[in-house]
Chain A
Amino acid sequence: GAGVSQSPSNKVTEKGKDVELRCDPISGHTALYWYRQSLGQGLEFLIYFQGNSAPDKSGLPSDRFSAERTGGSVSTLTIQRTQQEDSAVYLCASAGGTGGYEKLFFGSGTQLSVL
């Protein structure tokens, strides 16, 4: 498809387990973002990848959160030892190419529920 794809769309896990969330950005987009959104709330910035530059990890809430982007394309957000407060929708977005870096294209998100 032509859009940003995220998987899984829903993830239910037990407290203390690790989870991996995947994002397939739009081909050719060099910028990739992860955001977190709690119910009825705004978008909390987590991490930003831009080309070959070191990622901006300033939004990661704790060292339990990490992300990587392999080959400048697919990205994985990993949450270790999940806690109930990690429950939220995790949104991925990509930008760049001819669209400009201010025009982000979002996936539909992964709804994470930690029991």
Chain B
Amino acid sequence: GESVGLHLPTLSVQEGDNSIINCAYSNSASDYFIWYKQESGKGPQFIIDIRSNMDKRQGQRVTVLLNKTVKHLSLQIAATQPGDSAVYFCAEISGNTPLVFGKGTRLSVIA
């Protein structure tokens, strides 16, 4: 079946540097692509989403890029801070189907 997956399971970044977390998807019919952040002991928290008809969207310190040609999604975090340490999940949703999560990438910020 179609699925959402990730290139890198772990990522270590120096505090203040930019982070890039990548995700590959296979369902070209998805309407939205979303990034969630999960801190230890908590449920995932919505960060940012992007509609399928867009290729870039910016939030506060975060940017999501969507490349439909190669079915690739990325999350860029500017000036990474210790509080950004968490597991990041990409997800996709299409119509009334359930939202599907990828496997997750653990981001560790080195102070």
B100 CB-CB contact with A under 8 Å? yes
Binds B, one of A63-71, A72-80, A104-112: A104-112
Q: Which residue in B32, B34, B45, B98 is a CB contact (below 8 Å) of A48?
A: B98
Chain A nearest CB from B108 CB (Å) reads 14
Which of A42, A45, A48, A101 has the largest count of B CB atoms less than 10 A from its CB?
A42
Q: Which residue in A42, A100, A101, A103 is a CB contact (below 8 Å) of B101?
A: A42
Q: Which residue in B43, B89, B93 is a CB contact (below 8 Å) of A109?
A: B43
Chain B nearest CB from A60 CB (Å) reads 12
Closest to A92 in B: B43
Work out how many contacts link A and B, with CB atoms closer than 8 A. 57
Q: A105-B46, A107-B43, A109-B43 are in contact. Are A45 and B98 (CB under 8 A)?
A: yes
Q: Which residue in A41, A103, A107 is a CB contact (below 8 Å) of B49?
A: A103
Q: Is the CB of A106 within 8 A of B98?
A: no
A43 CB-CB contact with B under 8 Å? yes
Within 8 A of B (CB), among A53-103: 53, 56, 58-59, 91, 93, 95, 100-103
Q: List 25 A-B contacts (CB under 8 A).
A: A33-B98, A41-B103, A42-B102, A42-B104, A43-B44, A43-B104, A45-B100, A48-B98, A50-B96, A53-B96, A56-B98, A59-B98, A93-B43, A93-B44, A100-B32, A101-B93, A102-B32, A102-B99, A103-B34, A103-B46, A104-B36, A106-B42, A106-B43, A107-B43, A108-B43
Since A48-B98, A101-B99 are in contact, a sample of 16 more A-B pairs with Cβ atoms closer than 8 Å, ordered by chain A residue number, is A4-B43, A35-B101, A41-B103, A42-B89, A42-B101, A43-B44, A43-B104, A50-B96, A58-B98, A59-B98, A101-B93, A102-B31, A102-B99, A104-B46, A106-B42, A108-B41
Query: Which residues does A use to contact B, with CB under 8 Å?
Result: 4, 33, 35, 41-43, 45, 48, 50, 53, 56, 58-59, 91, 93, 95, 100-109
Query: Which residues does B use to contact A, with CB under 8 Å?
Result: 31-32, 34, 36, 41-46, 49, 89, 91, 93, 96-104
